[in-house]
Structure 1
Amino acid sequence: MNTVSSDDTISAIATAIGEGGIGIVRLSGGKALAIADKLFIAKSGKQASTFPSHHVVYGKIVDPDSGETVDEVILITMRAPRSYTREDIVEIHCHGGPVPLKRILDLTLTLGARMAEPGEFTKRAFLNGRLDLAQAEAVIDVIRSKTDMSLKVAMGNLSGQLSDKVKALRQQILRMIAQLEAAIDFPEEDIEEAAAADVALLIGQVKSSIDKLLATAQTGRILREGLATVIIGKPNVGKSSLLNALLREKRAIVTDIPGTTRDIIEEYVNIRGVPLKIIDTAGIRETADVVEKIGVERAKELVNQADLILVLLDSSSPLTAEDRGVLELLPGREAIVLINKSDLPSRLDLEEVNHFAKGRKVLKISVVQGDGLEELEQVIVDLAYSGRISQGEAAFVNNVRHADALRQANFRLDEALATIGARMPPDCVVVDLRAAWEKLGEITGDTVGEDIIDQIFTQFCIGK
């Protein structure tokens, strides 16, 4: 992304592509009000630049060259610094069709704005100090949230819950650095030893806080991205029926013909606030059908990429070679073994199933009758929260970049402890502490490079 100039005025369509009741064209920058003056004719006849900030005014957009009315609109002005970007912002709310939106956008560009780059509005909010980097990244998490819980986590990070914790940790490290530097200025041996001992205790406290944040990382990632879940089993065991039951709708084709699911069906399912990115695969079996064979191979690949595997077995028939082939895919994977059709007379050897399961959860269910599905949902929720983190946790680490920075900070703190243990001079400990402080600063953007900032904001949609 190019470096943003404070002299630029940017413009973009801020609403989703397609038809809708309302569409929004957003401008930000020093020329935003002047451009609005040339385009917008208020019912009152007043110019946009004279409107009070944060007031809604009805009028129309007119092409200044032809005098043609483009659309009836309402216009909102938000003057700096009381705006999202801390610059003058104008929002034009028009009818939500692609033609009026494009016409209005084109007029703003003709009159001196330039097209906003992806995430540029939020990038300006960051550069102008309205949001720190962790809060800015939470904006996209709010937009992409898939359940109420993932929205709650994103909103918590947007409000600064994670940032506040990280900033407090950085302050603790700065105090340690100051304590050691004071000891360096007064190099009596007993003062240096006492300062090092105090700092060692404080490092332990900071590391404990970082560990608590990192304990939320797996759950945070799941809430942000979804728990990648693969349903596997031999053909006609009820995989598609299970998917439909979890979705509570008929998304997958269900027939008595083995091999009905030839492709990979992917859906997001809300399981008590946990988003499951659930994948229904082709039945795993030996087959001469080329198309089905590709689906089977793809299913095996997905097993290796999944966070969770749901293995479906048929209670009404003995364990087959195909079942054993499915169960042999499990070593090293998180899995739940589901014995379906439990409403029918059982012919399955449970002892053999438990041997393959090797301590994994084995549940009896009946997709047709709906039996056991509530228990399955609870097991999935417990797995997502790792049995350690309550759903009321104030701050979650839901971003791989943040988790990596926390781990690296912890490593540098370990280095500081080792340096103290080796009775090295305080200035050597300060080097490690300052490195940890900088790593934590990457989360909030205080010590992050321009390339990382650009990479983050290119993930945003245009107009946000």
Structure 2
Amino acid sequence: MLSRHHDPIVAIATAPGRGAVGIVRVSGRQLGPYVEALLGVRLQPRHATYLPLRDAEGQPIDHGLALYFPAPHSYTGEDVLELQAHGGPVVLQLLLARCLEVAQSLLPALRIAEPGEFTQRAFLNDKLDLAQAEAVGDLIDASTEAAARSASRSLSGAFSQQVHTLRDQIVHLRMLVEATLDFPEEEIDFLEKADARGQLRRIRETLDGVLDRARQGALLREGIKVVLAGQPNVGKSSLLNALAGAELAIVTPIPGTTRDKVSETIQIAGVPLHVIDTAGLRSDAEATDEVERIGIARTWAEIAAADAVLFLHDLTRLGEPGYDAGEADILARLPQGARLVHVFNKVDRGLPVPKRDGERAVALSAKTGAGLDALRALLLELAGWHAQPEGVFIARERHVRALRRSAAHLEVAAEHAAVSDHALDLFAEELRLAHNALGEITGEFSADDLLGEIFSRFCIGK
């Protein structure tokens, strides 16, 4: 895509299907003559003009609005034309075809835009940095209000500004170190005179705060995948319905009712929670047919990929020989540690709840809703979520990884600084690597293949 980023491009910029309004967008260099040939009038920049949108014979395809944004004052930084018509798919395809037809003599290189190419041009033309460009896609894809607001903060530059502030602080410290290395005859204790250790400590503290907020932002974007696991008829489907507040899964007393996974995304405190109800777990010998065996195999695959596993126990069946043996078999295969939560269902029956020393556990009733709030709070704790007083900016896993790499390099730099001035060259190198890691977030240091991967995930027309 990068090799063709000077070509003029066109695309339908609204979602497929019928709607009140549809938009066809054109971006390129020096579109003025093309706009006049296409519309038959000279448009006033940045003013909406209502006019007929005609075909090659001069017959109206539709009546709508045309807006012309000359470079550099446009979304892409190039000349941009937007045609707003009624949102029927046939109308928009006719307008798109007309744009390409007129271009044959004036803009022969005009082509259909690749996914995300308009936003990619905004990045390449310095209208957005890479973190802001990614926030465009995150705003479109936001699954909760909190995620949308956080993406909007990142799009406005809140995240980028914090990254730039960190980079400026590292650059200032690098400048002092490099100057000292360039003039070794100056016999000064650099680390003391320049307060290098103090500067580095403050940078690391700031980075820790940014990393914490980025982790929260990544959680808002990605959410947490939670798998409901357990033997048949312990209440997994009932718990899914209770958490979702809707009858999503079929609930019957018949073992093996759930044969395949049922997924639903809900939100807790704005954090997306991807809940997956799975087939009841039992041995292949107990499974009634091949379909149930396939469902059980898929359950184990989902468990392996889960961020958290809720192992449901039926309080009314504890103590039954066959049931307890099945519990032990499942527990032996489940992932142990932080990802596992024991959930004791049917607490409304008034039965005692077993103690799980050193393990996460919650007692609830999927039928009455008792204990659901405790489960929701526990899931947020598992995810590492905590409210941020200043608000969270959206972030991606690659941002978090880059911040962690930068923090690791600063930690090594601090180790060198703790030795003496004799390690200044190593100190300077770690600062450089930390600086570069931060640059990857905003796009100062980004490989073309990374850009292609990021923008290919956008919808066409954005």
Q: Same fold per TM (> 0.5)?
A: yes
The 3 A distance-change label for structure 1 pair 9 and 256 is same
Question: CA, structure 1 residues 444+2, in 2 after alignment: closer, same or farther (shift >3 Å)?
Answer: closer
In 2, are the aligned partners of 1:161 and 1:394 still within 8 Å (CA)? Answer: no
Match of 1:269 in 2: 266
> Are residues 1:301 and 2:306 paired?
no
Question: Is 1:332 equivalent to 2:337 in the alignment?
Answer: yes
Q: For the residues of structure 1 that align with 2:441 and 2:169, how far apart are their CA atoms? A: 16
Map residues 48-447 of structure 1 onto 2, 5 A cutoff. 49-51=42-44, 53-64=45-56, 66-112=57-103, 113-188=110-185, 190-194=187-191, 198-286=195-283, 287-319=287-319, 320=323, 321-328=325-332, 329-346=334-351, 350-351=354-355, 354=356, 358-360=358-360, 362-386=361-385, 389-396=386-393, 398-420=395-417, 421=419, 423-424=421-422, 426-447=424-445
Over 3 Å counting, the alpha-carbon distance change for 1:22 and 1:50 in structure 2 is closer
Compute the displacement of 1:123 (Å).
0.9
TM-score, reference length from structure 2: 0.90
Whole-angstrom CA distance in 1 between matches of 2:371 and 2:451: 47
Asked if structure 2 preserves the Cα contact closer than 8 Å seen for 1:35 and 1:108, the reply is no
Structure 2 residue identity aligned to 1:20? G
**Cα distance between partner residues in 1 of 2:192 and 2:124:** 38
User: Please, which moves more after superposition, 185-194 or 253-262?
Assistant: 185-194
Query: 1:30 — aligned with what?
Result: 29
Tell me the CA shift for residue 189 of structure 1.
Answer: 5.8
CA contact (8 A) 1:229 1:307 kept: yes
Task: Identify the range of structure 1 (32-41 vs 311-320) with the bigger mean alpha-carbon deviation.
Answer: 32-41
Contact 2:344 2:353 in 1 (8 A): no
Displacement after TM superposition at 1:280 (Å):
0.8
When structure 1 is superposed on structure 2, of 422-431 and 67-76 the one drifting more is: 422-431
Q: Which residue pairs with 1:44 in the alignment?
A: none
Aligned length: 447
Judge conservation of contact 1:318–1:349 (CA < 8 Å) in 2.
no
- 8 Å CA contact 2:31, 2:79 repeated in 1: yes
Post-superposition offset of 1:276: 0.6
Contact 2:311 2:343 survives alignment (8 Å): yes
Match of 1:215, SS?
helix
- CA distance in 1 between counterparts of 2:392 and 2:218 reads 13
Deviation readout 1:394-452 (Å, 9 max, x if unpaired): 45462121122222222322333343326435344323222221221111111222232
Relative to structure 1, is the Cα distance of residues 197 and 76 closer, same or farther in structure 2, using a 3 angstrom cutoff? closer
Unaligned runs of 5+ in 1: 42-46
User: 2-side partners of 1:369 and 1:18: how far apart?
Assistant: 42
| Compared CA separation, residues 457 and 327, structure 1 to 2 (3 A) | same
- Which among 446, 457, 460 is matched to residue 458 of structure 2? 460
CA shift, 1:231, in A, is 0.9
- SS for the counterpart of 1:182 is helix
Question: Following TM superposition, by how much is the alpha carbon of 1:379 offset from its aligned partner in structure 2, in angstroms?
Answer: 2.5
Residue 368 of structure 1 deviates from its aligned partner by 1.8
Code of the aligned partner of 2:27: S
Q: Distance in 2 between matches of 1:453 and 1:334?
A: 33
> Whole-Å Cα distance in 2 between the matches of residues 33 and 129 of structure 1?
22
When residues 196 and 463 of structure 1 are mapped into structure 2, their CA distance, relative to the original with a 3 A threshold, is farther
Assess, with a 3 A threshold, how the Cα gap between structure 1 residues 176 and 147 changes in structure 2: closer, same or farther: same
Is the 2:27–2:76 Cα contact (8 Å) retained in structure 1? yes
- Structure 1 counterpart of 2:106: none
Q: Does the CA contact (< 8 Å) of 2:43 and 2:67 recur in 1?
A: no
Q: Which amino acid aligns with 1:62?
A: R
Judged with a 3 Å threshold, the aligned counterparts in structure 2 of structure 1 residues 232 and 218 are, in CA distance, closer, same or farther, namely farther
CA change 1:196–1:180 in 2 (3 A) is farther
The answer for unaligned runs of 5 or more in structure 2 is 104-109
Q: Give the letter for the 1:291 counterpart.
A: V
What code does the residue aligned with 1:298 have?
R
**Percent identity of equivalent pairs:** 41
**Contact 1:231–1:278 (Cα < 8 Å) also in 2:** yes
Change (3 A) 1:407 1:199: same
CA pair 231-194 structure 1, distance change in 2 beyond 3 A: closer
1:256-284 superposed Cα distances (whole Å, 9 cap, x missing partner): 21111111111211223110111111111
Tell me, yes or no, if the aligned pair for 1:59 and 1:73 is still in contact at 8 Å: yes
Structure 1's 428 and 264: CA in aligned 2 closer, same or farther, altered over 3 A? same
Change (3 A) 1:70 1:147: same
Distance across 1 between alignment mates of 2:420 and 2:288: 66
Cα deviation code 1:330-353 (max 9, x no counterpart): 41342332222222242x6614xx
Q: In 2, Cα distance between the equivalents of 1:212 and 1:128?
A: 31
Query: Displacement, 1:4?
Result: 3.9
Q: Which amino acid aligns with 2:49?
A: V
